[in-house]
Structure 1
């Protein structure tokens, strides 16, 4: 016999049951779509390898073929070719090296998060160990969520690796790097991948320097110190920036001394500053290739630091008013930097100061060195233009028309300044001179 209370409970939870059921169905559809996409991307990578094997080119044939295919797919997906190339590499790794994990994911035993944990942990395992590792890892992943099993799977990989930790650490240290990750509100993260002992030493020194600054505030008497209310984290970040921007490397191979020319190198970035920002208006400015920065920071850079290149745009016509720098560049290069701002391949945002000035129509084939035949391309896309079937022609106004190997065309207009204004209508009597 069913009670009224039980019936009421079922009715109350029926909508939630429907939502849970639909969520499970949607998850299955998403999983299937993701697996199919991985398989398609893996096929794209295999095709690039096949094309490279058939090529007689002397350049890095496989990389060029992969770049060209990634760019073709990027046009369809509306992603940069770099992003698509990374996805292709990841897809091949999962499809070709972790078939059992892919099958378990498809069967619903584990999730994509579990697959990523297994792939990341097993990245350094040799092929003859990977299969045994994968089998154990899949069973452990079935018991819990990806974040909870991650440490266990990483330890499993360490235990099963045939090489010692010291040997693997030496290999890992060869991949040390510094990366810049743009954030919000004019802030970014500088991420350095270093040996743990070095990273710990850097953090310790920054911490001790920050504490020394805070602890000795009362011993100094000046207006700046008296108003210094920075926290330990803020001081640590400021000292970190000061050391990197103005410090001298411990060893300078260019002079075999500790005070060689490397210590004189200063930071160089490219900032587009609308004229109104210099006049005091709070409008965003563009750090080319990265993210917007606030007007106050842009004004400080433009006015106080002579080593920064200044580019000012007219708020009415959008044309360049002035490019002022202590390093006087070639006037044509200055004009091209103002026009292009970044690499001119579709979707690429690498700043023009990091790019090469390319002759759209090859100079060796008669292309003129003039504004209408020059554009900034990063090294990656410059190489693609030279060594793959991607083609480009330049139209009037700095417009680039790219044609992919499949014949798809992509129009790349010269970027416009971030801020533009429309002139106000006439407000004085006809025939009277303008009041300015």
Structure 2
């Protein structure tokens, strides 16, 4: 159901899961919060906070918390609602709250969130609070030391730079080599135009920023051959100081991201999968291979989900309810139509 909602509303899985679980909770065990929502006393986001805070409770305890909150959360902002709901839930089941804390700490993970052009965020989710606090203290201490040595960057900028440098294995203020996949045409690289470039997993970035990234001392340039009419990738040039990974590399460069519509996991972090399963006659060829993140790879094998790759590279996904969604690799450049030969 979550996947069906994600496809239908074009939202990410996590948001779809929140919508589904909130709807279920409001219509079963949080009737008073639903009443406040209907009356305009609580917004949809606030209702999601109540549903999330009580999700681990039994039905009896959830209804008790719902009753307690009826007079506490009307006309409050979402953060106030979250705090009130969490407190009420812990009071309703104190032993369960302790067990939940242990489970939450074991569910720690690292996530990335793409934001506006040229920026993104990385977050350690559900990390042990004492380690998170200690990490922030170290980052802040190194940032302040750099500031005291005459750095002109703001403290916020220094904290961000120090944190990223430490993650990349360096020390505060020193840049380390990182690997990203940047798509830009030759004329943009040479400064003959300012067409936006594209960074895999992020989206389009201004030409000036793309040239700055491409001009790094460790940058590896790779020639990609495209169909001038469609902009689709046809072949990879072999002029590169590292050996090619052949078919695997071609499919990842062509797809750029997970082929499930709405998923932006970079192809280099995805699984290479047969659109038609190998055991059912699939072939290991670029015409049948696609990139899918691990979650969507597993979803593909669930009963009722059908994946079909057309001869033009269009992937059609049919869900168990019969809804169909198409996905095509993005062209490397805008289709140019028929052009006379350059001679």
**Fold similarity call, TM over 0.5:** yes
1:161 aligns with 2:93: yes
1:92 aligns with 2:7: no
Normalising by structure 1, what TM-score?
Answer: 0.64
**In the superposition, relative to structure 1, how do residues 149 and 341 fare at CA in structure 2: closer, same or farther (>3 Å)?**
closer
| Contact 1:340–1:414 (CA under 8 A) maintained in structure 2 | yes
**In the superposition, relative to structure 1, how do residues 401 and 109 fare at CA in structure 2: closer, same or farther (>3 Å)?**
closer
Given candidates 138, 151, 161, the residue that maps to 1:238 is: 161
1:97 to partner: Cα distance: 3.1
1:126 to partner: Cα distance: 4.3
Distance 1:309 1:388 in 2: 43
**In the superposition, relative to structure 1, how do residues 308 and 91 fare at CA in structure 2: closer, same or farther (>3 Å)?**
farther
Which residue in the other structure is 2:152 paired with?
Answer: 229
Which residue in the other structure is 1:195 paired with?
Answer: 128
Task: Classify the secondary structure of the residue corresponding to 1:191.
Answer: strand
| Residue range with higher mean Cα deviation, 124-133 or 331-340 | 124-133
Distance 1:371 1:273 in 2: 23
**Which segments of 5 or more consecutive residues in structure 1 lack a partner in the other structure?**
1-65, 218-227, 249-264, 427-432
Which residue in the other structure is 1:349 paired with?
Answer: 264
1:138 to partner: Cα distance: 0.8
Distance 1:377 1:159 in 2: 43
Which residue in the other structure is 1:414 paired with?
Answer: 329
Which residue in the other structure is 1:205 paired with?
Answer: 138
Which residue in the other structure is 1:282 paired with?
Answer: 194
**In the superposition, relative to structure 1, how do residues 402 and 181 fare at CA in structure 2: closer, same or farther (>3 Å)?**
closer
Distance 1:191 1:367 in 2: 38
1:192 to partner: Cα distance: 1.9
| Contact 1:275–1:315 (CA under 8 A) maintained in structure 2 | no
Which residue in the other structure is 1:365 paired with?
Answer: 280
Higher helix fraction (1 or 2): 1
Task: Classify the secondary structure of the residue corresponding to 1:348.
Answer: coil
**In the superposition, relative to structure 1, how do residues 207 and 313 fare at CA in structure 2: closer, same or farther (>3 Å)?**
farther
RMSD, aligned CA: 3.6
| Contact 2:65–2:92 (CA under 8 A) maintained in structure 1 | yes
1:270 to partner: Cα distance: 2.8
Show CA shifts across 1:345-372 (max 9, x none): 3333322112222222332233322222
| Contact 2:251–2:290 (CA under 8 A) maintained in structure 1 | yes
- How many residues end up aligned between the 2 structures? 334
1:2-81 to structure 2, matched below 5 A, reads 66=1, 70-71=3-4, 73-79=5-11
| Contact 1:306–1:325 (CA under 8 A) maintained in structure 2 | no
